[in-house]
Structure 1
Amino acid sequence: MAIVETSIVPLGTGDTSLSAYVAACHRILQEETRVKFQLTAMGTIIEGDLDVILEVIRRMHEVPFEAGALRVSTMIKIDDRRDRAASIDGKTQAVLEKL
């Protein structure tokens, strides 16, 4: 199970607000049953099979182009732990327990 953080940023849109693009990308996640996701203030965290996640991010990457963006910058950070099960909630809980 992989945990991936991604941020998809359209460039050259003529507006500094990106929330409509973020919402459009999240519609893909809402329709996708194979992953779990969490919207954060600075990106999106996705949990699931790495191949599925990368497929979903590829579809999300196309959304700003479909909305007229001429350039898109997509950042991906992958945590692929194979020695034991990992989850978004588990990673957060591990830190909270230490506070």
Structure 2
Amino acid sequence: MAIAEFTIIPIGTATTSLSAYVADLHKELEKHTDIKFEMTPMGTILEGPLDRLFEVVRAVHEVPFLQGAQRVSTSIKIDDRRDKQASMAQKMHSVAERLN
């Protein structure tokens, strides 16, 4: 299981506000029920098989174009751990244990 974080930035839009784009990205993510996701103020984190994560990022990358954006910049970070199971929850739990 891999974890990926991505940020999608539509460029050349009529406004500096991106909340309408983010809302539509969220709607697209909800269609992919086999992938866990968590939106943050600065990006979105996905959890699932690596091939599926690439497919989902590709699908959400297309969303701003459907809204009229002429250019989209997408950044992706991937944590693909293969020595043991990893998840978003496990990573947070590991840090919380060290804080206590």
Q: TM-score, with normalisation over the residues of structure 2?
A: 0.96
State how 1:67-86 maps to structure 2 within 5 Å. 67-86=67-86
Shift in Å at residue 26 of structure 1?
1.2
Match of 1:3 in 2: 3
Cα RMSD after superposing both structures: 0.7
Unaligned 5+ segments in structure 1 are none
Structure 1 position 93, deviation (Å): 1.1
Matched, 1:47 2:83: no
Cα displacement (A) at 1:14: 2.2
State the Cα deviation string for residues 43-97 of structure 1 (Å, max 9, x = none). Answer: 0000000100100110100000010001000000000000000000111111111
Which residue in 1 is equivalent to 2:18?
Answer: 18
User: Match for residue 94 of structure 2?
Assistant: 94
Structure 1: 4+ residue segments shifted above 6 A: none
Alignment correspondent of 1:61? 61
Amino acid of the residue matched to residue 46 of structure 2?
I
Counterpart residue type for residue 20 of structure 2: A
TM-score (norm 1): 0.97
Amino acid at match of 1:8: I
Number of corresponding residues = 99
Percent identical pairs in the alignment equals 59
Letter in 1 for 2:89: D
